[in-house]
Amino acid sequence: MSWKPEVDEIKQRRAFALGQGGPEAVAKQHGQNRLTIRERVDQLLDPGSFEELGPVAGTPVYNEAGELVSYDPANFILGFGKVNGRRIIVGGEDFTMRGGSPSPAGLRKSVYAEDLAVQYKVPLIRLHEGSGGSVGGTSGQGPNLPGPVNAPSRFRSVAQAMATVPVATAAMGAVAGLPAGRLVASHFSVMSKSTAQIITAGPAVVERAMGEKKTKDELGGWKIHTKNGTVDNGADDESACVEEIKRFLSYMPDNVNQLAPVVECDDPTDRCEESLLEVVPRDRRVAFEMRKIIHAVFDHGSFFEMGKGYGRSQITGLARLNGQTVGVWGNDCKFLAGSMTADGAHKARRFMELCETFSFPIVTLVDEPGFMIGSQAEREATIRHGTSAVLTAAMTTVPWAAVMVRRSFGVAQAAHYGPETYVLAWPSAESGPLPVEGGVAVAFRRQIEAAPDPDAKRRELEEMLAAKQSPFPRAEALSVHDLIDPRETRPELCKWLARVQPLLPDLLGPSAFAIRP
Amino acid sequence: MTNIELETGGSVWKLLVAEGDAVEEGQTLFILEVMKMEVPYEAPHAGTVAALHIAEGDSVAEDDLALVIQA
């Protein structure tokens, strides 16, 4: 007798597993404009490239005769696949069963995702829609027995994954509890504006504990979480989230032991953009668009901004110079004058840690007036978060180039320069311990008070000191490597990158400090 | 109809258009003062100022509707 009966049952179980939570649950998911996890995986991966792990993990249901009548598959889908030809690990909850709250096999598969990524050293992509544990336990019959004392820490592999491979996560629907924690334990996270909410606990738990009546969207919709840094980016819908993840991945190596992929570049390295000659207004009070400078300097269309909605005085993202990945960090003087806020500093720290983890050279476009001041800034512990960013910069080992576009003041400016930074200054550069406008009133207080017209005296002193902000002494004293025509910024940065690129292989491998969420 | 909403709070330092004015693409509509910086807002396309919700000296908040341009 052959093994045909068992082989038939394997087939039957696989067929049951593909049914997910059943036709009604799938129709309900579609009715709310959301895809099922299998459809999401298909949307992400190259056609036919999914190699599923544990496809028949689940709970069988037998009739009285002991025959298999149905099957509850694990409500977490996991496997290998390819994105634009590159192997990755993908995983996500099946919301059509138990609202994505883990079943016994679902939990096992979900925590295996990070282990696999670390083991195989390939990027991890999570597509989340699910909640955490239930007081009913994974079985639904009551609390689970806690794991043994010698079980490995569940979060160790989550942290290890972030120090080893690129991790990108999307919130596709409601994400709560453990999945929400894993969502933010990523180098890049994105949420669907039309279908996702991210909540530590849902409306019912919140109302019971705090008497606060809020909908899921009010608690954790995109308007909350793209502005507080919970996620890096928001995207219109599920497919836009997938596109953002694919774009992010295009800049990333497979793991920390490899260099980032280099793409063919048809943008000449010696391109000089005429608009840069006048992009910074001569009137020091008039704001300008730092993003226009970024778009003009880096490879055409290569800037991928991360975290646009929060810490908005700082602009961070990935871009390419001559086809090679670099981290880009500029100030936005249109938002709080570009000053270093607590959330801007947090964003900057994560950005630097991302670059350090994956050995990306960093290019800063500096227009930093200093730490944000005032009572709100003091309440936000700006000096602690800001100093954290400054010391992170000081501890990095990747190559840095800084372009002093306009202001570079105070302790906060130090965050924009790593060790041995190659510094280029535009003629519009100003630097010092603090901007003239704030500093004059303090340093010349007695002189101003003694003057017949204190206001006029203050203005006179401000103008006198501002006039001394000539760019030339900086270059004479070799305080900068060179003073450049702003139009030459791209050619100069491309030349710099060609010089530092040979140093990058020595930086590969685990970083001295790992990225934290 | 294009709503021009404020990217940050601040105060309206200069208002350079009036309701009913024709504007060109890229024309400066008004200038906010934010942390001692002048932040100009430009017309994203040509049209007419169909509604105006700010005045010089106003204190304004992020996401406030400043004006509406009818193409």
Catalogue the E-assigned strands of A355-499. Answer: 362-368, 400-409, 422-425, 430-432, 482-483
Interface of A with B in 334-363 (CB under 8 A): 334-337, 339
Give the fold, CATH level 3, of A274-429+471-504. 2-enoyl-CoA Hydratase; Chain A, domain 1 (3.90.226)
pLDDT, tens only, A14-25: 998 999 999 999
Determine the 3-state secondary structure of A29 from DSSP.
helix
The answer to whether B39 and B33 have CB atoms below 8 angstroms apart is yes
B44 touches chain A (CB under 8 A): no
pLDDT at A139 exceeding the cut of 70: no
B40 touches chain A (CB under 8 A): yes
Of A76-80, A131-135, A221-225, least confident by mean pLDDT is: A131-135
Tokens of A105: 């096999």
pLDDT, tens only, A47-106: 999 999 999 999 888 899 988 888 889 999 999 999 999 999 999 999 999 887 888 889
Q: Which residues of B touch A334 (CB under 8 A)?
A: 7-8, 34, 37, 39
Q: Min CA distance, B32 vs chain A (Å)?
A: 9
C-alpha A427/C-alpha A469 separation (Å) is: 10
pLDDT at A265 exceeding the cut of 80: yes
B7 touches chain A (CB under 8 A): yes
Rounded to 10 degrees, the C-alpha dihedral A294/A295/A300/A306 comes to 70
Residue spans of the domains in chain A: they are: 21-145+155-251, 274-429+471-504, 435-469
pLDDT at A135 exceeding the cut of 70: no
CATH at B61? 2.40.50.100
Would you state the CATH architecture of domain A21-145+155-251?
Alpha-Beta Complex (3.90)
pLDDT at A149 exceeding the cut of 90: no
B5 touches chain A (CB under 8 A): no
Give the mean pLDDT of A35-43: 97
Q: How many helices (H) and strands (E) does chain B have?
A: 0, 8
Name the pLDDT band for A147 (thresholds 50, 70, 90): confident
The answer to whether B66 and B19 have CB atoms below 8 angstroms apart is no
Q: Min CA distance, A123 vs chain B (Å)?
A: 35
Q: Which residues of B touch A287 (CB under 8 A)?
A: 34, 37-40
Q: Min CA distance, B8 vs chain A (Å)?
A: 6
B20 touches chain A (CB under 8 A): no
Task: Inspect the interface and report whether the beta carbons of B38 and A287 lie closer than 8 Å.
Answer: yes
Residues in chain A: 517
Task: Return mean pLDDT, chain A.
Answer: 93
Number of folded domains in chain B?
A: 1
Q: Classify residue B9 by burial, with Cβ atoms within 10 Å: 0-12, 13-18, 19+.
A: middle
ipTM of the complex: 0.85
- Domain residue limits at B47: 2-70
Tokens of A227: 């502005």
Domains A21-145+155-251 and A274-429+471-504 share a fold: yes
Give the mean pLDDT of A318-323: 98
A437 touches chain B (CB under 8 A): yes
B48 touches chain A (CB under 8 A): no
Of A318, A312, A316, A302, the C-alpha closest to A349 is: A316
C-alpha A66/C-alpha B17 separation (Å) is: 81
- Please indicate, yes or no, whether the overall pTM of this predicted structure exceeds 0.80: yes
Distances, alpha carbon A148 to alpha carbons A103, A142, A145, A156, A204, in Å: 19, 18, 9, 16, 31
